[in-house]
Structure 1
Amino acid sequence: MFYTLSKIVWFFATPSNLLISLVLLGLLLSLFGRLRRVGTGLALTAAIATLALGLSPIASYIMVPLEERFPPFQDDGAPIDGIILLGGSVEAADSAARGRIVANESAERVLDTIQLAYRYPGAKLLIVGGGGTVFTNGTAEAPIIASYLRTVGIDPARLLVEDQSRSTFENATYAREVAKPREGERWLLVTSAWHMPRAVGVFEKAGFPVVPYPVDFRTGGSFTDMRPFAFVSDGLRRLDVGTKEWAGLIAYYVAGRTTALFPGPQASGGSVRR
């Protein structure tokens, strides 16, 4: 229920959808004599807000705190027992239709995982990600990525696949069931930097401490060097991603699915505890 409700609510609350909906609502109201002035004002205000939020660097300001919450991974020489790749980097349905991997803007998750696989040849690789949609089960992402990793020389014996999860909460819960991590093991968690705070908090809550390995940065990391966007669609896309993640942090904290409202480095112990 939580998953379905969150998807429905967010569809309407997504900034880009909400702004366009307000424009359309304003235009509709303007067709009625008594509401013409109100409708025209609403449509104009929403249109101006769409341009302002799409072109200004506001979306980047929203994203920076998320991306800067965890520092880049530094190899301290300690052994790495496993690598967890969270889904979200592959268009599963398109990949299945074309018979080859179709990556999206988060493709760095897969690329960095391949690099890590060769850097730590003894580590297991846990690929996480099902294919759930709001009302039906879609094409699972994890098996597609696992198949691709085999084509680039990764030993199939190292691969673990979790293909049932539909959310970050389920990612962590099912990942622990599949990996069965032992006490003292260290597992790297590969996901987008802006998604890392929520992911770490959820994995900690599930009893599966991880070492963050943030990738897929969308900003330069500084508040002082923010540039306007050249296209409204680019700014709105980043705004959608950033606001969704902040909303997810709040919702997960209220639901008791994460260890803190804004999990930070202190929340990640690295090795599995009992």
Structure 2
Amino acid sequence: MPLRYLLKQILMPPGILLLLLLLGFLLRRRRPRLAVGCFVVGFAGFWLLSLPLTVEWGARLLEREPALAPSEWAQLAQRADAIVIIGAGRERGDPSWGSDQPGLMARERLRYAARLAKASGLPLLTSGGLHYGTPPSEAQLMADSLAEDYGLKVRWREERSRTTWENAEFSAPILREAGIRRIVLVTQAQHMPRAVWSFERNGLEVLPAPVGFIGVDNARPFAGLLPEAKAFWQSNQLLNEALGLLGYWVFYR
């Protein structure tokens, strides 16, 4: 896990872009043309990934599944047997709560899943393992939040997974043992293609319930052509999903 974490931080933005800028500085005397190329690519990468317009266009390529209409929520029990919520990290030791809490994207998923569960009456499964080996699991944190914040009891917890593929791989046996083959899958819209692919490869019929769409009109001044820190973070998430989808297709097909 530490090696995987290290490689990801180096090879994904901003790590790879900082390396290019560093190379540009180190090579400025010995290889000036190469140094200029490294600097231009590094700077351009930072600029492009920081644009809300880049986020908008990039997200539209990944957010393929349409949102469920509110009028469909009550009928979900006719199309599926359970709701599965994929974990999305956690916030460590939040002093306001006196304990770890689900991450921001996880909370967005939980709120949406709670609405779907209350409308449909479907049982819930939370999926997510330990965060860098430290308990409690993401599945437990989400289950606690659903109980305390929304008054919903989670029926199953999958607490071993570290990746989206493992979310599916370890959740599928739990669901099959309960006689469940059809699920409503709740995760971020940009994450949904990889998540659906993983759960279907593990033998489940998936009804996507995406949340957190960002491929919408950015509504920023100057058409979203001014850099923003939030846009850089979102672009990194989109790039991670695109590479992850490609990698899953190569390694898990």
Which whole-Å deviations, capped at 9, do the CAs of 1:196-253 have from their partners, x for residues lacking one?
111111111101122110101112179xxx9325444223212211111111111111
Task: State the one-letter code of the partner of 1:70.
Answer: E
Q: Which amino acid aligns with 1:160?
A: W
Determine the structure 2 residue equivalent to 1:266. none
Q: Which 10-residue stretch deviates more, 50-59 or 233-242?
A: 50-59
For 1:143, which of 130, 137, 140 is the aligned residue?
140
For residues 201 and 106 of structure 2, the distance between their equivalents in structure 1, rounded to whole angstroms, comes to 25
Q: How does 1:4-83 map to 2 (within 5 A)?
A: 7-30=5-28, 33-35=29-31, 38-39=34-35, 42-55=38-51, 57-67=53-63, 69-74=64-69, 75=72, 77=75, 78=78, 80-83=80-83
Query: How many residues of Structure 1 are paired with residues of Structure 2 in the alignment?
Result: 243
Q: How does 1:192-271 map to 2 (within 5 A)?
A: 192-220=188-216, 227-228=223-224, 230-257=226-253
The match for 1:91 is 90
Relative to structure 2, which stretch is displaced further, 94-103 or 39-48? 94-103
Whole-Å separation in 2 of the counterparts to 1:168 and 1:98: 28
The answer as to whether partners of 2:188 and 2:212 remain within 8 angstroms in 1 is yes
Q: Deviations over 1:49-108 (max 9, x none)?
A: 4224323622332211211x11222428325421100000x5253459832635314532
RMSD: 2.9
Please name the residue that 1:264 is paired with.
none
Q: Percent identity?
A: 27
- 1:246-271: per-residue Cα shift (whole Å, max 9, x none)? 111111111134xxxxxxxxxxxxxx
Residues of 2 paired with 1:9 and 1:170: CA distance?
Answer: 20
TM-score, normalisation: structure 2: 0.82
Which residue of the partner structure matches residue 159 of structure 2? 163
Is the Cα–Cα contact under 8 Å of residues 83 and 185 in structure 2 kept in the other structure?
Answer: yes
What are structure 1's unaligned runs of at least 5 residues? 258-274
Unaligned 5+ runs, structure 2: none
Residue 59 to residue 153, structure 1, CA distance change in 2 (3 Å): closer
Return 229-238 or 92-101, whichever deviates more: 92-101
**Mapped partners of 2:44, 2:65: distance in 1:** 35
What is the one-letter code of the residue matched to 1:18? I
Which deviates further from its counterpart, 190-199 or 46-55? 46-55
In terms of fraction of residues, the more strand-rich structure is 2
**Distance in 2 (alpha carbons) for counterparts of 1:49 and 1:145:** 35
What secondary structure sits across from 2:24 in the alignment? Answer: helix
Of 189-198 and 226-235, more deviation after overlay is shown by: 226-235
2:152 and 2:53 map into 1 onto residues whose CA distance is 44
Encode CA deviations 1:111-150: one digit per residue, 9 max, x unaligned: 10111121122x21100011254xxx23421101111111
